[in-house]
A and B are shown apart, each in its own frame.
Chain A
Amino acid sequence: MLQLFADGLIQGAMVSLGAIGLTLTYSILRFANFTQGELVTGGAYAALMALAGFAGTAQRAGTFAGLSFGWPMLVALLLAMLATGGLALTIEWLLFGRLRRHGSAITLVIASFGASLALRNLIAFGFGPQPQYFSRDLQIAIPIMPGVRLTPDQLFLVGVTAALVAALHFFLTRTTLGRAMRATAENPALAMLIGIDVRAVVRWTWLVGGALAAVAGVFLGLTVQVRPSMGFDLLLPLFAAAILGGIGNPYGAVLGGLLIGLAESLSVPWVGSEYRQAVGFLVMLAALLWRPQGLLGERA
């Protein structure tokens, strides 16, 4: 039982990271971005490419104690974050930004659905549909406490997620850009009135959201595998987390992500792991029907 709990937290951490960008762009730009999953996938593949790039160095660098990777992976992660932030900005520039000037939210959703399909299949075309891995080494799960075993990679994941969330909190509450993001997520028109360059805030939101999605992708790739549909399979839980936590609230996204991860994990004994996504979906539906503003949102 505790093991399921721990597994749920691990899964939840990744959903949280992916959901933060989703919830922010959803509330600032008022549309459901179906390409968020592909940002996760893109991050993982970008890291793979970066690692392939320093193939020789990776061999020589060795790994950190207990973990399946060494310095090259951390560099690859940073590069992936940058690349994915850039990918998000590119999609915004090519597609969403232009559509916003002429179309409605529905147009944007359809376009994002199409862009997600295109990206996913572009990756499948370029890298092939077969799963890939960051490391071929098997990790042994070590007992953390009675009844709970986790691999060192998973522990690292939890630690980094916690650190990122703390950094995010500092960013959102102590920096002008962070406050501007929260303000714009609540009321873009008012933000403009007080002189905030909302267009710049939008760009930064894509960058930050994309970078965090990349971390989720790399973690997912580390703990499970890298394949073209990895982010798409996460999309429903991402939406569920964002909605459950309250659209526009990054803390809600974190909370929602953890809860969705837990719900999926704890339901496995009853429902079987094949139907995990269905559980997240049901939680989301329940939230939409009974508390549409989300757990941390206020009634509109």
Chain B
Amino acid sequence: MDGYIAYGVFFLTVASIYALVCLGLNLQWGATGLFNVGVAGFFAVGAYATAILTCPDFPGQVGGFSLPVPVGWLGALLAGGLAALLVGLPTLRLRDDYLAISTFGIAIVIQLVALNFQPLTGGALGINFIPRPLAAWFSDAGRYGIFYLAVVAAIVSAAYWALERLVRSPWGRVLRAIREDEAAAAALGKSPAVFRLQAFVLGSMLMGLAGGLHASFYGFISPADFQPILTFQAWTMLVLGGSGNNRGALVGAVAVWALWSASGALLHAVLPADLQVRGAALQIVLIGVVLAAALLFRPRGLIGEEPIVSRHARL
């Protein structure tokens, strides 16, 4: 029984971290219509920020501040926001698919830095021994797991509550107005560019924070944790959960993470020993197919906007 509880706690913790990412993505896409294909990059920035701020001193590596974990998480939040500010200022005015390509590029560049800038990020080997908050207080790994889950759940709940309030606030109304009719909103004196940037930065802060929670949870990060598959998982969660919707973000996170874990277990059981290592690749294929199917059979696609070329040119 203990094993199941421990797994359940682990499962929910990871799902909650993903849920936080999805909440951020929902603010960017669902509420503001920003097409961020570089989610993994902002997550990575937060993770490395927490690692650098909270780790003890290692030779040859920047950091060693040994700050308390909550400070590390705050740093992750700010780092995610700062990255978004730097990226967003030049690119947010680009049209949808150019923004997608740009954010995709940013994530790749961040991954390159993570992989190669050894003094800061530990290079391909990553950063180890990231401290967990209040680890000393708990002797039992099981109890610690529950504690950490409680912390993450509290953070996600707070974020959810705050986002729900935000969406219903005057700020949220302006955002909706900008999404519906930018020219009209601008005519009322609201600068669409500023509001979009705010939404982008806020969303990325949540992604960064999630990265920090990830780093402290696993205690170890490397560039391999921040591949495009992460971006894709976040989008799948949002699409399947119902994009445009904070609750959908939570539901989607749990559902897709469950699907992912189940497919992993299935492949582990079914594949012969020599193909086990390659099984991870097949898992990704499965989730790719699931998303494609979801998109194909949802009659209105992601949001149900106008057809691409023109209404009259049916390609």
A and B touch in the complex (CB under 8 A): yes
Q: Chain A: residues with CB nearer than 8 A to chain B?
A: 28-32, 34, 95, 97-111, 113-115, 117-118, 121-122, 124-125, 128-129, 188-189, 192, 198-199, 202, 236, 239, 243, 272, 274-275, 277-278, 281, 284-285, 288-289, 292
Q: Is the CB of B302 within 8 A of A121?
A: no
Q: Return the 8 tightest CB-CB contacts between A and B, nearest first.
A: A103-B301, A118-B288, A121-B281, A104-B305, A107-B301, A121-B284, A125-B281, A281-B105
Query: In the complex, what residues of A have CB within 8 A of residue B305's CB?
Result: 103-104, 106
Main secondary structure of the interface of B (DSSP, over half): helix
Q: Is the CB of B295 within 8 A of A110?
A: yes
Query: In the complex, what residues of B have CB within 8 A of residue A288's CB?
Result: 91, 94, 98, 102
User: When chains A and B are docked, how far (Å) is the Cα of A100 from the Cα of B146?
Assistant: 46
Q: Which stretch from B14-22, B58-66, B196-204, B231-239 is at the chain A interface?
A: B231-239
Q: Is the CB of B35 within 8 A of A106?
A: yes
Q: A198-B313, A281-B105 are in contact. Are A114 and B302 (CB under 8 A)?
A: no
Query: In the complex, what residues of B have CB within 8 A of residue A109's CB?
Result: 35, 37, 97, 100
Query: In the complex, what residues of B have CB within 8 A of residue A97's CB?
Result: 315
Q: Is the CB of A117 within 8 A of B229?
A: yes
Query: In the complex, what residues of B have CB within 8 A of residue A188's CB?
Result: 309-310, 313, 315
CB-CB contacts below 8 Å: B293-315 with A: 295-296, 298-310, 312-315
Q: Is the CB of A107 within 8 A of B302?
A: yes
Q: Is the CB of A114 within 8 A of B309?
A: no
Q: Which stretch from B5-13, B109-117, B182-190, B249-257 is at the chain A interface?
A: B109-117
> CB < 8 Å: which of A95, A104, A128, A285 contacts B308?
A104
Q: Is the CB of B284 within 8 A of A117?
A: yes
User: When chains A and B are docked, how far (Å) is the Cα of A28 from the Cα of B313?
Assistant: 11
Q: Is the CB of A278 within 8 A of B306?
A: no
Interface contacts (Cβ under 8 Å), in number, total 164
Query: In the complex, what residues of B have CB within 8 A of residue A272's CB?
Result: 116
Q: Is the CB of B302 within 8 A of A277?
A: no
Q: Does B104 touch A at the CB level, under 8 Å? A: yes
Q: Chain B: residues with CB nearer than 8 A to chain A?
A: 35, 37, 90-91, 94, 96-98, 100-102, 104-106, 108-109, 112, 115-116, 228-229, 231-232, 235-236, 239, 275, 278-282, 284-285, 287-289, 291-292, 295-296, 298-310, 312-315
Q: What is the distance, in angstroms, from B268's C-beta to the closest C-beta of chain A?
A: 14
User: When chains A and B are docked, how far (Å) is the Cα of A125 from the Cα of B284?
Assistant: 10
Q: Most chain-A Cβ atoms within 10 A of its Cβ — which of B100, B101, B239, B313? A: B101
The residue on B at minimum CB distance from A278 is B109
User: When chains A and B are docked, how far (Å) is the Cα of A31 from the Cα of B35?
Assistant: 13
Query: In the complex, what residues of B have CB within 8 A of residue A275's CB?
Result: 112, 116
Q: Is the CB of B281 within 8 A of A122?
A: yes
Q: Is the CB of B101 within 8 A of A103?
A: no
Q: What is the distance, in angstroms, from B67's C-beta to the closest C-beta of chain A?
A: 30
User: When chains A and B are docked, how far (Å) is the Cα of A28 from the Cα of B238?
Assistant: 29
Q: A121-B285, A281-B109 are in contact. Are A106 and B96 (CB under 8 A)?
A: yes
Q: What is the distance, in angstroms, from B285's C-beta to the closest C-beta of chain A?
A: 5
Query: In the complex, what residues of A have CB within 8 A of residue B287's CB?
Result: 114
